[in-house]
Structures are given as C-alpha cells and as structure tokens.
Amino acid sequence: MRATETLISTLREVPADADIVSHQLLLRSGMLRKVAAGIYTILPLGHRVLLKIEAIIREEMNRAGGIELLMPIIQPAELWQQSGRWDVYGPELFRLKDRHERSFCLGPTHEELFTELVRQEIRSYRQLPLMLYQIQNKYRDERRPRFGLLRGREFIMKDLYSFDIDENGLDLSYRKMYAAYNRIFTRCGLDFRVVDADPGAIGGNDTHEFMVMADTGEAEIVFCSACDYAADVEKAPCPVESQTAPAALQPLQRVRTPGTHTVSEVAEYLGIPAEQVLKILMYVTDDEPVAVLVRGDRSLNEIKLKNYLHTNVLEIADEEDIAGRFGLPQGFAGPVGLGGRVRLLADNETKNLSNAVAGANEPDFHYRNVNYGRDYQVEDFADFRLAQEGDICPKCGQPLQLKRGIEIGQLFKLGTKYSKAMGANVLDESGREIAVVMGCYGIGVTRTLAAAVEQWHDQDGIIWPSSIAPYEAVIIPVGQHDSLQADLAEDLCRQLTDSGIDSIYDDRPERPGVKFKDADLIGYPVRIVINRDSATDGLVEIKWRASGAVERIPKDTAAAYLRHKLTTDDYPL
Ligand SMILES: [Zn+2]
C-alpha cells in the first residue's frame, strides 16, 4: 500500500478537548475524528486496527463454539417492558418513536433480543447448549461523554450469550469464554489481569472482569505476581495477617500531644510507627453517627462500611458534626471512654493491636498503651479496610501489587433472570418445561483499541502491538525524488506484503523528518529507511518502534528476517 492512496491525516498540535493520552494520540495520529460529543468517525488507519482486533475476537469466539449473527441496533420497547428494564434503565437509554408513535430504543445491550430469539426458535434441550454472538454498535447517552473511545455514546461491542439447560452447562460455557478471552487479549498484545469482580461472595466466580493495566485506568487493581489473584481494590477482602505473640499489656498513660491532629503528626511526635496508632473515623449514616477504628497506616474502605451497614447513605463527619453529634474534639478522638456515646465498629486488624496510641477525647491529649478489652469495647469487628500494595495475597501469601486498570471485557452468569422474565423455556428430557440458563460475555471492541494506546505509547506517539498495528512496517525513502530509492521502496513494500507483513510505503511529498515523526506518532512496529547507498550496498535501516533499536540488514533478506522477528517473542509486544 502506498501512503498517497489512503488517508493519512496527522496533527502536530494536541487537540484542546482531548482529555487523556489515547484520545489525544488517536486524534493526532489520524485514526479518529470527533463528529459530536462521544461520537466519532474511525479513519482508515484506526479502522485497520479495529478490523484486526475484530478478526482476533471472531477467530477465538468461533474456536470456542460461538456462532455469529447480527441483531438490529433499534430495539422495540415491548421487549424491554417484558424484561422489566424499560422503566428502570434511566436517561442513559436512547429512546425514540417511529411515525406511528411506537417506542424504540438504541440498544445499549442485547439481552432482550437474544432471549427473545431463543424463546422463538429453541424448543428442546437437544438444541442446547448454544452460544450466539455478534459484533455490533451499542449506544449509551452518557451525561458527560469523555476520554474519547473509552467513554463514548456510540461504541462497538462483541456480545456473546450462552444458553444451557442447567448450571453445569453454564459453568462449562463460562469456562470456554474465560479461556477464549485470555487468548484474545494475549493475542492483542495487551498486559491484562482477570479480576474476580465479586471476590468476597460465597460461591463467587459468577463474574470476572478483564482489565488492561494502564495508569489512566478508572479502577485500582491489587494483583499478585506469583499467582493469578487479582481484585478490584474496592472489593478486595483483607485477611488479617498472622500475628506475633501479643506484647505484655502496659499501663494506660495519658500524654500531652499538642497540635497533633493527624496520625502522622502524632506518630512523629511520639516517635512511633503509624501502625501503632488507632485511627478513628467518624461518619453519619441515615442521620446516625458511627465511628470506625482502623490501624493508623490503613485506609477505610467506605464500600465495605456501606455494605456492613446496609446503607447507601454515608458521609464523613465534618468538624461541626464531630463537635455536635459526637461531642468530640477533632483530631483527638479515640475509643477509650467512648462506650455508649456512639456506635463504635472496628476493623479486624485493630483487635490484635497491643499498647496502641489513641486520642484521649480532649484537645492536645492522647493515650498510650491502649488495649482492646481492657480499655475499650466495640460493637463489632469486621473487614473495613482498603486493600493496599504490599498486602498479603489471599491465595498464595506473596505481597500484592497495586496498579490502575481499564475494563475491556466482562463475563457474567445471568442464570434464569431473563429467561424467566421473558418465558424462554425448553422441554427437558422428561418433557418438562424449564427456563434456559444464560450467561453473557462482552468485549468493548473500540474500548480495547483505546486501552491498547493507553498502555502502549511514549512521548512520540503510539507503540502498537504488531498483531493489531494499522501496518506492521512503514518504508521511507530518504530521497523521495530519487527514482532509484522510490523503486527500491516500492519493491521492498511488495516483497514484505507478499510474505505476509502488512506494509505501507510512505510516498507522500513530505520531508523525511516529517515522515519519521509521523511513523513514531502512528506507531508502526517497524520503520525501514532506504537511503542513497541502499542501491549499491543493498542494505536498509530498520528501527524498532518499541525498543528504539536500529540495525542495518540486507534488503533482500528483510522480509524473512522481519517475519521471524514479528512472529516470535523478539518483538516485545
Ligand atoms: Zn498470589
């Protein structure tokens, strides 16, 4: 392919409203253009990436037994009313009416249509299991679309639905998809983790999220490098680490700690580690004050507290609340003598803390040698703390790491939620009607494209994994007007293409410097430069985008050499 035969439209400036790096780089590299808020045109270079991602997904879905079909974008309201979602979905659902005043929506998801299809077409258990999927546009009327393709109002998803006669069948379908997703994201060259989305649930493993590791991710993930454990930090359970033998209890001691309002201030003032301090956090829930103890070096996980209290209303108490409702001095509150005045809960870890330091409930004073049982009581101990880097892996005991992630895929066991609501039944072996057991499995296709850029880029531009790069190699002659160089470039491009390396010859009437900059920005894995000497010495210069390594190799062996490098682990992505 010649560059002048396609549309390459790069920008030097960072567009003003592009808020994150993938959005900026996709616009600058000429892969994406905005049409309206959260709605984009994917330009030819970006479209090649999209097609390659889709091809990988399609291959792996088919290999796992998925059957592809195509559902409409426009869905009738009746089906959504049957499932009960028409009234509860809220303003994110794009609703519209046809000329006969019949209501429709632009599908944000397709559970209703797939369930309806199975209700109409499947009669017997003999026709199951069945896994149907499509790659289709979805719509979500975000209040504030942002982050480019990561949170658009129109996006492309692969959604597969599995239909089985029982839970065992569902487990099997689920495991097939789990394995297929691992292959897909590995083949896309992504560094990802599989997060058990509900790690604390009894019987768990009913939903998993596939997360691409990237600093701009919306979720924080704790994961283990020694095993496959990974969990959303907000949901990760925190087992209490095994304790050394408890220290002998020392006598309670009231000490002056003037002006020490925070854990770090009091720890520094008393010359003790922060983990020896009992931190107390005050909240107001449903108009009732509640206080929670956590170790001084830990953070409280408000989601765990909300779940414990069975409430969605939880606000951290401000200074006025602390003085008014709790009757306590801010920064000097503590559990000693608090009994009866306020509901007091404590994180599991604090139970084993001996001879701790805690506020004395009067300004400028703390207690030393505070011990649970002797000096204070609590209503209950539970897991209230936020997981953090260095915590012990609950599976294997190694220290956990913490990174941000972007969700690109999810597996979910639906069970009979939709089939019961919509009457999708089949006859079992004994001729009895049973509800079909379902699972749904999504991949954000446009999201995967953007997430790949979030993960693989540098200050010069995108660094595409070779499997999804718009072209794997770009060929640039230094002297575009030198017909010898132009012929060599054209010839090499043909050789590479013939040997299966997706290549482009940059024949645009631009200076070499501009082409080099564009090559880095667009992120081709390999850049091949042809210069005046190439015609005589037969050598071309190869630069690897990921490592920056440069080498000179014979033009005639370039195709075989690159093929080998790109298909083995030599190319890092
Ligand atoms: Zn582990």
Distance 399 CA to ligand 1 centre (A): 8
Topology at the third CATH level for domain 15-189+415-453? BirA Bifunctional Protein; domain 2 (3.30.930)
β pairing state of 343-347 and 356-359: unpaired
Most confident of 80-94, 123-137, 339-353, 380-394: 123-137
| pLDDT(402) > 60 | yes
CA of 223 to the centre of ligand 1 (A): 8
**What is the model's pLDDT at position 200?**
55
Instruction: Please tell me the distance between residue 190's alpha carbon and the centre of ligand 1 in angstroms.
Output: 21
Q: Is the pLDDT at 117 greater than 60, yes or no?
A: yes
What's the CA gap between 301 and 282, in Å, rounded?
13
Residue 50 corresponds to which tokens in the numbers above? 């999209």
As a whole number, mean pLDDT of residues 270-280 equals 94
Measured in Å, residue 177 CA sits from the centre of ligand 1 at 23
- 298 Cα: distance to centroid of ligand 1 (angstroms): 21
CATH code matching the domain that covers 253-382, chosen among 3.30.200.20, 3.40.640.10, 3.30.420.130, 3.90.960.10:
3.90.960.10
Q: pLDDT tier at 203 (50, 70, 90 boundaries)?
A: very low
Spans of all domains in the chain: 15-189+415-453, 253-382, 471-567
| Between 496 and 237, the higher pLDDT residue | 496
CA 391 to centroid of ligand 1, rounded, Å: 10
Instruction: Report the pLDDT value the prediction gives residue 573, as an integer from 0 to 100.
Output: 58
Residue 241 has pLDDT above 80, yes or no: no
Contacts of 191 (CB under 8 A, 6+ apart): 212, 213, 455
> What is the per-residue pLDDT across 306-319, written as a single tens digit (0 to 9) for each?
989 998 888 888 87
Kindly give the distance from the C-alpha atom of residue 227 to the centroid of ligand 1, in angstroms, as a whole number: 4
Mean pLDDT of the 66-73 span: 98
Calculate how far, in angstroms, residue 347's C-alpha sits from the geometric centre of ligand 1. 23
Name, in order, each residue with C-beta under 8 angstroms of 7's C-beta and a sequence gap of 6 or more.
30, 43, 44, 45
Task: Using pLDDT thresholds of 50, 70 and 90, give the confidence band for residue 321.
Answer: confident
As a whole number, the mean pLDDT across the chain is 92
The predicted model scores a pTM of 0.86
- Whether the pLDDT of residue 278 is over 60: the answer is yes
Which of 348, 572, 364, 447 lies closest to 49, judged by CA? Answer: 447
Q: List, in sequence order, every beta strand (DSSP E) within 272-424.
A: 278-285, 288-295, 315-316, 343-347, 356-359, 365-370, 380-382, 400-415
User: How far does residue 225's CA lie from ligand 1's centre (Å)?
Assistant: 7
Helices and strands (DSSP H and E) totals, the chain = 14, 31
- In this structure, of 129-138, 323-332, 378-387, 459-468, the range with the lowest mean pLDDT score is 323-332
Mean pLDDT of 105-127: 95
341/281 Cα distance (integer angstroms)? 15
Cα(212) to centroid(ligand 1), Å: 19
pLDDT at 572 over 60: no
pLDDT band at 336 (very low <50, low <70, confident <90, very high): very high
| Token pair of 465 as six digits | 């994994």
Residue 394 Cα to ligand 1 midpoint, Å, equals 7
Q: How confident is the model at residue 571 (pLDDT cuts 50, 70, 90)?
A: low
> Per-residue pLDDT for 202 more than 60?
no
Residue/partner pairs of 195-202 with CB below 8 Å, 24 or more apart: 195/221, 195/223, 195/230, 195/231, 195/232, 195/405, 196/230, 196/231, 197/232, 197/235, 197/410, 198/235, 199/231, 199/232, 199/235, 199/236, 199/237, 200/235, 200/237
Residue 79's closest CA among 54, 122, 111?
A: 111
| Amino acid letter, residue 492 | L
Which has the minimum average pLDDT: 43-57, 81-95, 432-446? 81-95
The CATH T-level fold of domain 471-567 is Rossmann fold (3.40.50)
Residues 6+ apart with CB under 8 A from 28: 10, 11, 12, 13, 14, 15, 461, 521
In percent, the amount of the chain with pLDDT more than 90 equals 77
